[in-house]
Amino acid sequence: MWQIAICLLVSPIVVHSFDGVQCGDYKCVNDPNIFCNTTTNACQCGPGYIGNARLRCVNDTMHICTMMGDPHIRTFNHEDSSIYIPCTQILAEGTVPRANPVKNFRYRVTALTKEVYQARYASQIMVVALNIELFTFENNLIVLRCDNNGCWNNAAPYQKITDYADQSLIFNVTRDEPNGQTVVYVQGYRVEVRFRAEDGSVTIVIPPDTEPNPSNPGLCNIPSDPMTFNANTAASLSLSYSDYIFYVNIGNIDNTVETDEMCLTLYSAPCDPQATRQRDSVLTCADIFTDQATKICYYNYRNQNGSAVLWDFNRCHAAHCSLNVPIEYCNDVFAACGADVVPTGCPPPPGK
């Protein structure tokens, strides 16, 4: 089960040129697992593969989730980004019981981002650090803060960690050369988190025998205050960045045992992002939150509370999926940003 929180950064229109098959107005990536649907003029993943076919398709039996840029708002020619489709369902597919240790594994990876205008990818957003939380159902929790030079523990004096062990989790932190990636490998669970700050890429590999535990609620029940999180991470990594944060992934969540309404919204996928109407709804809501002026205004209006803005985004998304834009939401935007800012799907305010 996947979820991601929102990072409100601009994704400009950029036309890509790939050495691939022409497909309508675009070229598909030169990948044997991708083909052009000549009826719809759309790039598609072949049978057995899933993903954004203009960018990358992955084997749908592999629990691999890759983030390039912003995983929730439009990137790459205003399409859903590569993480949005592959990770909505794929992380909870495994049903094969694992060998010893039988303890199930959960994780949450929070990425800190900044805008960059000379980035390798068109999204113009780069991950500069990660907050990695790993634990089993026995609640043996470890927390790492990682930048491209390595990982540190989450409390002063912020000691650099190369390996760590407790009752349930043994992991190694290494540098994968020549790829230049910081790799967190969890022994016994075959879980990897690979982080490369140069291009803002994060890859999470989950073994295929991962299975959810329906008797245990998810990581969302562990509250995280964005301001405190940012302050602590800045202290440990000596970073200077904006306060935008988002969750890259949350693994093995069972919806039926989650009681927090926002978590349920995050973990649910009521809209099929591959269906036309639902894809349009995602893009419509992204229109509202990716405009730079609206983003800054609305973020400040929400007292720089990323969780509140995320809730607004999900409310917008759900409303559009039911073909109903709540006027209360539109009024929130008008109150925050003035009557000159009219989000897509909202009627003009009175007098305009």
pLDDT number for residue 55: 53
Q: How confident is the model at residue 340 (pLDDT cuts 50, 70, 90)?
A: confident
Cα–Cα distance, 346 to 352 (Å, whole number): 12
- In angstroms, what CA-CA distances link 282 with 11, 162, 263, 265, 273? 14, 40, 19, 14, 8
Q: How confident is the model at residue 74 (pLDDT cuts 50, 70, 90)?
A: very low
SS3 content of the chain, % helix, strand, coil (to 5): 25, 30, 50
CA quadruple 241, 246, 252, 254: dihedral sign? positive
Q: What is the mean pLDDT of residues 85-96?
A: 27
> Please, what is the average pLDDT of the chain?
61
Residue range 103-158, pLDDT digits in tens: 556 666 766 665 544 444 434 445 667 777 776 655 567 788 887 778 888 777 88
Cα–Cα distance, 69 to 104 (Å, whole number): 29
Report the range of poorest mean pLDDT among 9-13, 14-18, 42-46, 157-161. 9-13
Cα–Cα distance, 110 to 96 (Å, whole number): 28
Judge whether residue 289 has pLDDT over 60.
Answer: yes
Q: What is the mean pLDDT of residues 283-312?
A: 68
Contacts of 254 (CB under 8 A, 6+ apart): 1, 212, 213, 214, 216, 217, 218
Contact 42, 23 (CB under 8 A): yes
Q: What is the mean pLDDT of residues 310-322?
A: 75
Domain boundaries, the chain: 54-260, 270-337
Judge whether residue 336 has pLDDT over 50.
Answer: yes
Report the range of poorest mean pLDDT among 70-74, 119-123, 283-287, 333-337. 70-74
